[in-house]
C-alpha cells in the first residue's frame, strides 16, 4: 500500500512538472555546413529574449531547471545546442561557436522575435565565455550572465570583451568558492571590468549549470532580479 502511494505521488509530481513546462518550437539553422538546433520559447510581443548557452560536453537540456522561472517572468527564450553538441552538427570550433551567436541573433531578428527590448545571453563554463564575447559583439545585446567563466577555456578568452566591449553595458558573473579556477577568474574579471558588473560567489564547488543542482532557487532569483534591473535601466536610458 505504501509502495503504491509512493508511485502515485511520483507520477502526480511528474504530471505537474510536465504541465508546468512551457511550450516551445525547435528551430534549425544551416551554417558552415552544419545544422544548428535550438528551442524557442515565445513570450509576449516585444518581450526581451534570453539566449542560453550550455557547458562543454553538455547540451541545451542543462537549462531545463531554469527555463520555467525565466519564461514565467515574461522572457522569450532561445535555448541553443552549440555546434558539435546535442543535436547540433559540426565540429567543436569555438570561433565558429561565437559567430553562431550572431547568426542566432540574426534569426531572431528576421523571424520578428527580437523586439525593442533586445536580448541578454546566459552561458555556463565555456558557454559563459562565449556569452560574454557574443554579447560584446552584438549591438542589441544588453548584458551577459556568466556562470563559472574562465580566463581561458580552450582559447576562448572573455576578458577583453568584458573590459572593452561591455564597458557601457552590464554583466553578472557567478562562481563557487571551491571551484578555484572560476572563482579566481571572476575576481580578476570583476577587478578589471570598466562597466556595470555584479559578482556572486556561492559556497561549494558546483560549476556552470551544475549550480542549478544545489542553488537553483538562489541562482534563478539572482538572474531574474539582475535581468529586471538591467533591462529597466536600459529602457530608462533610451
Question: Quick one: pLDDT at residue 210?
Answer: 98
Radius of gyration of the chain (CA): 18
The stretch 206-233 carries a mean pLDDT of 93
Could you tell me which of 103, 164, 93 has the C-alpha nearest to residue 133? 164
Predicted TM-score of the model (pTM): 0.90
Number of other CB atoms surrounding residue 91 within 10 Å? 10
Give per-residue pLDDT as tens, 150-174. Answer: 999 999 999 999 999 999 999 999 9
* Cα(189)–Cα(30) distance, integer angstroms: 34
Contacts of 88 (CB under 8 A, 6+ apart): 34, 35, 36, 37, 80, 81, 82
Domains in the chain: boundaries: 22-237
Three-state DSSP state, 20: helix
Tell me the CATH number of domain 22-237, given options 3.30.70.1060, 2.60.120.10, 3.40.50.300, 3.40.50.1820: 3.40.50.1820
Give per-residue pLDDT as tens, 74-118. Answer: 999 999 999 999 999 999 999 999 999 999 999 999 999 987 888
Amino acid at each position: 500500500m505504501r509502495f503504491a502511494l509512493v508511485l502515485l505521488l511520483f507520477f502526480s509530481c511528474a504530471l505537474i512538472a510536465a504541465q508546468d513546462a512551457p511550450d516551445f518550437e525547435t528551430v534549425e539553422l544551416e551554417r558552415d555546413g552544419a545544422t544548428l538546433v535550438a528551442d524557442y520559447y515565445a513570450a509576449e510581443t516585444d518581450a526581451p529574449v534570453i539566449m542560453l548557452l550550455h557547458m562543454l560536453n553538455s547540451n541545451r537540456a542543462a537549462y531545463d531547471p531554469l527555463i520555467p522561472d525565466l519564461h514565467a517572468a515574461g522572457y522569450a527564450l532561445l535555448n541553443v545546442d552549440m555546434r558539435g553538441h546535442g543535436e547540433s552538427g559540426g565540429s567543436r570550433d569555438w570561433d565558429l561557436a561565437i559567430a553562431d551567436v550572431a547568426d542566432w541573433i540574426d534569426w531572431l531578428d528576421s523571424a520578428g522575435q527580437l523586439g525593442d527590448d533586445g536580448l541578454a545571453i546566459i552561458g555556463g563554463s565555456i558557454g559563459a565565455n562565449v556569452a560574454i564575447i557574443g554579447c560584446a559583439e552584438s549591438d542589441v545585446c544588453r548584458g551577459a550572465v556568466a556562470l563559472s567563466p574562465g580566463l581561458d577555456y580552450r582559447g576562448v578568452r572573455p576578458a577583453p570583451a568584458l573590459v572593452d566591449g561591455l564597458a557601457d553595458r552590464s554583466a553578472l558573473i557567478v562562481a563557487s568558492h571551491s571551484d578555484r579556477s572560476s572563482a579566481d577568474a571572476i575576481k580578476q574579471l570583476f577587478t578589471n571590468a570598466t562597466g556595470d558588473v555584479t559578482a556572486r560567489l556561492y559556497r561549494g564547488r558546483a560549476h556552470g549549470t551544475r549550480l542549478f543542482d544545489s542553488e537553483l532557487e538562489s541562482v534563478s532569483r539572482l538572474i531574474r532580479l539582475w535581468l529586471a534591473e538591467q533591462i529597466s535601466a536600459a529602457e530608462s536610458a533610451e
